[in-house]
Amino acid sequence: MTRRVLKHSFVLLNVDYVQLGKKWNYKNVLSPYYRMYYIDEGEGSISNEKDAWVLEPGYMYLIPSFTLCNLQGSDHLGQYFVHFFEDAVDGISLFHNSRTVFKVKATGGDTGNFKRLLDINPGRKINRSPNPKVYEKNVYYQEYEALNNQQSYELFLETQGILLQLISKFIGPEQLQKSDTTGIPAKVVDLLGFIQLNLGKRLTVKELAAMVNQHPDYLSRLFLKLTGERPLSYIHTKRIERAQYLMMTTQQSLSQIAEATGFDNLPHFSKVFKKKTSLTPGQYREQNHATGML
């Protein structure tokens, strides 16, 4: 009998309940972790270049990691929020081809989970500022992750269970359809994991196609169905996501990061980075790193 195991786990960063207003207004937010909201009163909005979502009472919202969006409050917004990192056994995000905002109706159990998560995880509030440019810093990530190690194992397990329960609410028919691999050879699906584990190496569509005995053009069509992107675009997306993570969690130079993520030179890295994030690597690092980290 085949044993089914969880491929994804989640590491808590922040949890809090806040009262927000019009000052909660931030453009081009692109975080290396997930954001989840439960709105209990008031109104706000999340938007990107294509769509907009109204933040309304009684609903939960999920913003997967590396999803570019704008955050906007109104006169009044009551919000529970949770920030958390994702760990995947094969390196493939649960929402790898769904970089969009998800909205679901909350139940009484969901609201209870937000409150319980807050109760058993003290010290996880963002006390510095509601501005992502202020609190998205490597040094703060380390502080919050250290709290996970200090937590009793009983409460750590409960925290994991609550996060899994909450995120499961966003895995519905639509999400499963987007992740549908019907008609796609298993070896092609496995390429996603291979790419994730070899981002720093030379990767070409021709070589990837040869690995799974497919013609490059046919592989490109399968990739488009599987990920929503052609192979080269997908590789670039994953390399830039990895670069963002390294910028947030290390003090490596941009040249070192470009090399570590498989780019031949810094100008090419910068060009692709700006195309994917709307920011240059320097702008992104300045926005997200603490003062003095180069």
Residue 98: name the closest of 291, 228, 204 by CA. Answer: 228
Q: Are residues 261 and 206 in the same domain?
A: yes
Element (H, E) at 113: helix 108-119
How many angstroms separate the CA atoms of 166 and 36, rounded? 9
Torsion angle (degrees, nearest 10) of CA 151, 138, 279, 293: 170
CA angle 291, 272, 96 (to 5 degrees): 90
Does the pLDDT value for residue 198 go beyond 90?
A: no
* pLDDT at residue number 86: 87
- Do 232 and 242 form a contact (C-beta atoms < 8 A)? no
Domain boundary among 177, 203, 223: 177
Please count the structural domains in the chain.
2
Predicted confidence band of residue 177 (pLDDT cuts 50, 70, 90): very low
The pLDDT > 70 percentage for the chain reads 88
Which of 25-29, 184-188, 265-269, 289-293 is predicted least confidently? 289-293
Q: Are residues 270 and 228 in the same domain?
A: yes
Q: Are residues 212 and 72 in the same domain?
A: no
Residue 3 lies in a domain: no
Q: Tell me the pLDDT of the chain averaged across its residues.
A: 85
Q: Are residues 152 and 27 in the same domain?
A: yes
Q: Are residues 36 and 126 in the same domain?
A: yes
What residue numbers bound the domain in which 261 lies?
181-288
Domain boundary among 113, 146, 177: 177
**For range 140-153, the mean pLDDT:** 83
- Do 254 and 281 form a contact (C-beta atoms < 8 A)? yes
Does the pLDDT value for residue 21 go beyond 70?
A: yes
Residue of 294 and 249 predicted with greater confidence: 249
CB atoms within 10 A of CB 175: 15
* pLDDT at residue number 263: 94
- Do 59 and 105 form a contact (C-beta atoms < 8 A)? yes
